[in-house]
Structure 1
Amino acid sequence: MDISIIETSGLGDRSYLISHGGSAVVIDPQRDIDRVLALADERATRITHVLETHLHNDYVTGGLELSRTVGAEYVVPAVDGIGYPHRAVTDGDVIDAGPMRFEVLHTPGHTHHHVSYVLRDDTGAVHGVFTGGSMLFGTTGRTDLVAAEDTEELTHAQFHSVRRLADTLPTDTPVYPTHGFGSFCSATPASGDESTIGEQRQSNPALTQDEQSYVDELLAGLSAYPTYYAHMGVINREGPAPVDLTPPAPIDPAELRRRIEAGEWVVDLRNRTAFAAGHLQGTLGFELSGSFVSYFGWLYEWGAPVTLIGESPDQIAEAKRELVRIGVDRLTGSATGDVDTLRAEAPLGSYEVGDFARLARERKTTAVAVLDVRQTNEFDQEHIPGAVSIPLHELPQRLDDVPAGPVWVHCASGYRSSIAASYLDRAGISVVLIDDDFDNAVKLGLTVSG
């Protein structure tokens, strides 16, 4: 039995293709199903079933389109309001996929309807459990994505769900979660790349703490999550439209300038320091790297047309693939090449880039305004004295709270602060981007705890 992982690192998620004897089952597929189809073809298998552990909050599912494309049965936990044909499953149901059997365990917590799937062969032996947003590696799925009034109830349910998995399954059972590899669906950061039920009994807080301690700790640790999540459950319940990965049409420099002057979403995908060195004034910088899609979706004005600027057509295509995974489909144009060739007499912007060592030197002789765009819980743990705390996702609405420039802006690694710097620059605020790890600020003695 082969279990293949399909990694979506930008969202911190995994999908799975399980194959045996020429048959395959897919669990929690992302919207860009071409990756799944290519893997099934490589494995010379036919997909007979597509399984969802829950209606996802952090991405648009590819399950519906995949099941229709290959003629597979689409299996979804029983939940009201789903607007397309599917097989609704509840606790104790079994999906018979030839030489593979998937036993359904109701594991509420991440959502009310969440299920896990225990993989067995035709002898009944367990080969793994697919836990979605329930048991993760060293943590559990967050419980506040349904409604505030349900969060405490779901947190208690999550505790019992993880305990049920640990009590039901053999110690050596491999655990295959969907979330927890950088996903905001994780209650706390997950640890490790693989695990078993036995290892989780030693490290998972739902298994090492009593119920109330687990509940109190999880609730106290919940932080903000991307606002685009509000749209994912709705799309997945109604049934996503088929994915379109066709690159957005190229536009000329004159049209690019018109869109910028009209205040449209024109996003530059280049490296953060390249953007700082020179960019079309009025554009936003979202470096196309690890955290791109989460923070783009968090700040995006839902439904607004988007124009992308990139170094190459391949970079534009990669960005579109990332964005359609969260339902950002209104990509209305693109431009590639050197900024000087794209400017059409439009003004160029730029700002300085520094590090914490330079900030330390500046602070010895000058009163320096510092803006911290990490989340509030990060700031509360440790921060630079005198820094103004405005989490990145609040910045567009709180520009009036930013100190007079020049403002030195930082986060934990330089990624969030690079986005913030582009917002400040667009607003006409003089800015210095601190492109550095916050650990270096700690080492330099720039910070205080609490």
Structure 2
Amino acid sequence: MKIEQIYTGCLAQGAYYIVSEGEAAIIDPLREVQPYLDRLEKDNVKLKYIFETHFHADFVSGHVDLSKKTGAPIIYGPTAAPEFEAIVAEDNQVFEIGKIKIKVLHTPGHTMESSTYLLIDENGKNHAIFSGDTLFLGDVGRPDLAQKAANLTQEELAGLLYDSLYHKILPLEDDITVYPAHGAGSACGKNMQKETVDTLGNQKQTNYALKQTSKESFIAAVLDGLTAPPKYFGMNVAMNKKGYTSFDEVLAKGKTALSVDEFETAAEETGALILDTRNAAEFYKGFIPQSINIGLKGDFAPWVGSMIVDVQQPILLVCDDCTEEETITRLSRVGFDNVLGYLKGGFESWKNSGKEIDTVHRISPEEFAEKFNENSKVIDVRKEGEYAAEHVNDAYSKPLAYINDWVGNINPDEHFFLHCAGGYRSMIAASILQARGYRNFTEVEGGFNGIKKTEKVPTTDFVCQSKTAL
């Protein structure tokens, strides 16, 4: 028996590849399936089943394409109603892969069809659980995403989650390995540990949600501090439930190389969003007017989902050379399939053509320290928890995730400084602000991390959020 966790840092997502006696199973595959096909061929094994723990909200799974290419059936837990051919399993139903077995444990609460898969080894011993978004390391699945579909309140869903965890998961042996669908950084939880694999016994000791004294206290603890989920989540659920365009087709269309004139014409005729994926250090020096910068070398896909939201939005790409395919792939993972093409030769070709360019006014932390005074207006676009831990005195907390809510309240005549933690998120914000006509601001390179190192700008006392969050 072999179990491999295939972890994707950008999405903080774990897929699983399991092999026994020439047969394989894959749990929660990513959108692009060729790496799985290559692995199956290399290992000379046949894919027998594709298990889905639930209808994912934060990424588009590769289950449909993988099933079409291999003939392996897709397995969901009870109550699932996919709009494509699949096996909707019964609670406690067992599937055999070689000499091992996978037992379906229906664990509703995060979603109604959510299921945990219990792996039973060749000796008949409970070996591991693939817990999806039911149980994370340090946290549990958020119960506020499926309210509309389930016609239940988040409190009622949290109660179902309690029953699933306390009656089906906690009674299992302490030495069972827990393989969750997500880790730290995912918007699917609020308190995840940085580790991606643990024992159930250790989670019983360290996971706040598994140490509650009553259902009521569990519900209160799990719902406390939840922020609004990214708005693209619902669209990803729909794609996972209904099916989607083959990734091969998405990639072929997106890899259309466009000359400067073709790119400009496409932008004008389609209303496409121009997405520049270069890093902030290059973007601010020059870019196509109205471009939005979300750097590929960062939490690219989740920020695309949060900022652009509509997965049907036509997109034109400006990329570093030879990163086009990676960009299209990572966009497709969160459902953004409508890439019309990319600028051949990148931004340099646009610049060399003599077309109009734009820039962002960026200064160093040291320059900010010299310019900062008691009358300076500072906008901090980090998360609320980062701001609460420590911030520039009198800075305004305006998280990037909510920019559509607060951008309209900005006085365009009043100058402000803009920063995040290191410069990635503040450049996203800067590009959005300028695309909407706001130009009276200065972005700070290196963000709060750089500002603090100057030791010249007054900041609040540090408060450790890990000790105060729960």
User: How many Å apart are 1:320 and its aligned residue?
Assistant: 0.3
Report the counterpart of residue 9 of structure 2 in structure 1: 9
Q: Which moved more, 1:256-265 or 1:178-187?
A: 256-265
For 1:146 and 1:66, locate their aligned partners in 2 and report how far apart those are by CA, in whole Å: 26
For 2:263 and 2:112, locate their aligned partners in 1 and report how far apart those are by CA, in whole Å: 46
Q: Which runs of 5+ in 2 are unaligned?
A: 464-470
> Percent of counterpart pairs with the same letter?
29
| Kept in 2: contact 1:285–1:422 (CA 8 A) | yes
Q: Which moved more, 1:213-222 or 1:61-70?
A: 213-222
1:106 aligns with 2:110: no
Report the counterpart of residue 276 of structure 1 in structure 2: 284
Q: How many residues align?
A: 448
SS in 2 for 1:92: coil
Report the counterpart of residue 229 of structure 1 in structure 2: 233
Report the counterpart of residue 215 of structure 1 in structure 2: 219
Please give the per-residue CA displacement for 1:407-429, whole angstroms capped at 9, x wherever unaligned: 32122332221100111222241
1:328-339 equivalence runs, <5 A:
328-337=336-345, 339=347
User: How many Å apart are 1:191 and its aligned residue?
Assistant: 2.9
For 2:182 and 2:306, locate their aligned partners in 1 and report how far apart those are by CA, in whole Å: 18
Structure 1 pair 270/372, CA: closer, same or farther in 2 (3 Å)? Answer: same
Letter in 2 for 1:254: D
SS in 2 for 1:348: coil
User: How many Å apart are 1:384 and its aligned residue?
Assistant: 3.1
Letter in 2 for 1:387: A
Report the counterpart of residue 161 of structure 1 in structure 2: 164
Report the counterpart of residue 446 of structure 1 in structure 2: 459
Q: Which moved more, 1:274-283 or 1:381-390?
A: 381-390
Structure 1 pair 434/159, CA: closer, same or farther in 2 (3 Å)? Answer: farther
Report the counterpart of residue 369 of structure 2 in structure 1: 360
The equivalent position to 1:170 in structure 2, one of 168, 173, 180, is 173
Structure 1 pair 324/216, CA: closer, same or farther in 2 (3 Å)? Answer: same
1:87-166 equivalence runs, <5 A:
87-147=87-147, 149-166=152-169
1:193 aligns with 2:196: yes
Q: Which moved more, 1:28-37 or 1:167-176?
A: 167-176
For 1:154 and 1:176, locate their aligned partners in 2 and report how far apart those are by CA, in whole Å: 22
For 1:69 and 1:234, locate their aligned partners in 2 and report how far apart those are by CA, in whole Å: 22
| Kept in 1: contact 2:275–2:291 (CA 8 A) | yes
User: How many Å apart are 1:165 and its aligned residue?
Assistant: 4.8
| Kept in 2: contact 1:182–1:190 (CA 8 A) | no
User: How many Å apart are 1:196 and its aligned residue?
Assistant: 0.5
RMSD: 2.4
Please give the per-residue CA displacement for 1:66-86, whole angstroms capped at 9, x wherever unaligned: 122111122111235421121
Q: Which runs of 5+ in 1 are unaligned?
A: none
Letter in 1 for 2:293: G
Structure 1 pair 81/160, CA: closer, same or farther in 2 (3 Å)? Answer: closer
1:419 aligns with 2:433: no
SS in 1 for 2:372: helix
SS in 1 for 2:91: coil
TM-score after normalising by structure 1: 0.92
User: How many Å apart are 1:360 and its aligned residue?
Assistant: 3.2
Structure 1 pair 271/15, CA: closer, same or farther in 2 (3 Å)? Answer: same
Report the counterpart of residue 432 of structure 1 in structure 2: 442
SS in 2 for 1:333: strand
Please give the per-residue CA displacement for 1:396-448, whole angstroms capped at 9, x wherever unaligned: 45433224454321223322211001112222413322233535656744236
Report the counterpart of residue 238 of structure 1 in structure 2: 242
User: How many Å apart are 1:449 and its aligned residue?
Assistant: 7.3
1:287 aligns with 2:295: yes
SS in 1 for 2:343: strand
Q: Which moved more, 1:57-66 or 1:347-356?
A: 347-356
Structure 1 pair 367/167, CA: closer, same or farther in 2 (3 Å)? Answer: closer
For 2:368 and 2:163, locate their aligned partners in 1 and report how far apart those are by CA, in whole Å: 48
Please give the per-residue CA displacement for 1:367-418, whole angstroms capped at 9, x wherever unaligned: 3221222344544554434333333233245433224454321223322211
Q: Which moved more, 1:257-266 or 1:326-335?
A: 257-266
SS in 2 for 1:332: strand
Structure 1 pair 274/236, CA: closer, same or farther in 2 (3 Å)? Answer: same
TM-score after normalising by structure 2: 0.88
Q: Which moved more, 1:434-443 or 1:109-118?
A: 434-443
For 1:431 and 1:261, locate their aligned partners in 2 and report how far apart those are by CA, in whole Å: 28
1:256 aligns with 2:259: no
